[in-house]
Amino acid sequence: MIGHGFMGAAHSQGWRVAPRFFELPRPVEMSVVTGRDADKVAACARKWGWDESATDWREVVQRDDIDVVDIVTPGDTHAEIAIAALDAGKHVLCEKPLANTVEEAEAMTAAAERAATRGVRSMVGFTYRRVPATTLARDLIAEGRIGEVRQVRAEYLQDWLMDANAPLTWRMKKEHAGSGALGDIGAHAVDLTEYITGQRVTSVSGIIETIVKERPLLGEGQGLSGTASTERGEVTVDDIALFTGRLTSGALASFEATRFRTGRKNALRIEISGSAGAISFDLERLNELEFYDATLPSTGQGFQRILVTEPDHPYLAPWWPSGHMLGYEHGFSHQVYDFVTAISDGTQPHPSFADGLHVQRVLDAVEKSSEAGSAWTPTGV
């Protein structure tokens, strides 16, 4: 694994736990975690069970004992690391968004296609696809349970930046993060919409805005909870993105991504309305899916709460008895299961780098639309 921190912990948990609950077709060895700070990465290795730590990722991706490279670094490093790993014959799992620019994502996708001819696989970590309730939503729509998709509303709402004195971190710098709320969480809303509906966003009209334009600089060794300095720096990414999208079928979808929705901590919400019913999901209640069957008599209509904890529900069979809840971290174990299974089967895991490139084009189109006064902008589908 290259990188650590928040996503490193989540991915480490996935690698540790998946082999203990799922019958993986190949054994998993957590060989080495890589980071820039020798002391910090060594502490990560001890805490999460990696065999060793290193500070030179270029050397690690060339090692003969490494089969898989998991990238959890900031977006500005994804392209260089992924291309080097794929060219070295390593299977690659890369956190979302795939890259910071369309050009980087195109280069990564080309490298993935070259590698695939040699049996080397690659996947993007849009982990919310692997929440059992969202997978069930996808299955219900594919079965025709809500009929023709007519309208979608997708939003990812957080409030962790509402404090104007929260310090300036890498996530607020375009050179490292690529974009702000749009790329960090808006990418999830786009991917989840496309995954559940089975359609692509073909064009967008939107606007992005930076609400707090300057923040205190981060002191040495401090995180978001640390004491910031009195000197301030410019925020170069968006705080909020609002856009409308046209889907493949012609249906309209509305999207919102914000870090300023006061009181919302991690509310990834999606509601899909169809000719025969509707589906509604909220990540803050991730074990539940709401389903509306419009084919019932009017006296029996209403949103039905499905508790997605049954052994027959997606991913649930290896876990706990019915009614015992899963949490945020379980999606990362499901990701490991799907990734390792695809590698073993010699099939393309999803979402692919090509899927990640498409999402990158949607994000790029939103930025261009905002610059052009919210003009409708094609995504290249």
pLDDT in tens, 291-334: 999 999 999 999 999 999 999 999 999 999 999 999 999 999 99
Domain that holds residue 297: 131-324+358-371
Q: Which residue among 110, 128, 146 closes a domain?
A: 128
| Cα separations in angstroms, 53 against 10, 35, 38, 324 | 17, 8, 8, 36
Claim to verify: residue 157 and residue 305 sit in the same structural domain: yes
Claim to verify: residue 146 and residue 106 sit in the same structural domain: no
Tens digits of residue pLDDT in 200-213: 999 999 999 999 99
Report which of 100, 106, 29 is spatially closest to residue 70, judged by C-alpha positions. Answer: 29
> Can you give the CATH number for the domain in which 140 is found?
3.30.360.10
Claim to verify: residue 72 and residue 146 sit in the same structural domain: no
Claim to verify: residue 119 and residue 135 sit in the same structural domain: no
Does residue 350 lie in a domain region? no
Does residue 338 lie in a domain region? no
- Report how far residue 352's alpha carbon sits from residue 164's, in angstroms, rounded to the nearest whole number: 37
Helices marked H in 178-238? 181, 187-197
Is the alpha carbon torsion for 368, 81, 222, 127 positive or negative? positive
> Can you give the CATH number for the domain in which 30 is found?
3.40.50.720
- 182, exposed or middle or buried, with CB in 10 Å at 0-12, 13-18, 19+? buried
What global pTM score does this model have? 0.95
Q: Provide the pLDDT for residue 228.
A: 56
Does residue 200 lie in a domain region? yes
- Report how far residue 284's alpha carbon sits from residue 201's, in angstroms, rounded to the nearest whole number: 25
pLDDT tens digits, the chain, 381 residues: what are they? 999 999 999 999 999 999 999 999 999 999 999 999 999 999 999 999 999 999 999 999 999 999 999 999 999 999 999 999 999 999 999 999 999 999 999 999 999 999 999 999 999 999 999 999 999 999 999 999 999 999 999 999 999 999 999 999 999 999 999 999 999 999 999 999 999 999 999 999 999 999 999 999 986 544 444 555 679 999 999 999 999 999 999 999 999 999 999 999 999 999 999 999 999 999 999 999 999 999 999 999 999 999 999 999 999 999 999 999 999 999 999 999 999 999 999 999 999 999 999 999 999 999 999 999 999 999 998
Claim to verify: residue 55 and residue 102 sit in the same structural domain: yes
Claim to verify: residue 158 and residue 259 sit in the same structural domain: yes
Claim to verify: residue 307 and residue 202 sit in the same structural domain: yes
Radius of gyration from C-alpha coordinates of the chain: 21
**Dihedral class, residue 201 (left if φ above 0, else alpha if ψ from -120 to 50, else beta):** beta
Q: Which residue among 98, 128, 158 closes a domain?
A: 128
Claim to verify: residue 146 and residue 80 sit in the same structural domain: no
Total domains in the fold of the chain: 2
Tens digits of residue pLDDT in 36-88: 999 999 999 999 999 999 999 999 999 999 999 999 999 999 999 999 999 99
Claim to verify: residue 154 and residue 206 sit in the same structural domain: yes
Claim to verify: residue 120 and residue 135 sit in the same structural domain: no
Does residue 335 lie in a domain region? no
The tokens describing 316, both together, are 């649930």
- Report how far residue 162's alpha carbon sits from residue 68's, in angstroms, rounded to the nearest whole number: 38
Residue whose structure tokens are 């968004």: 97
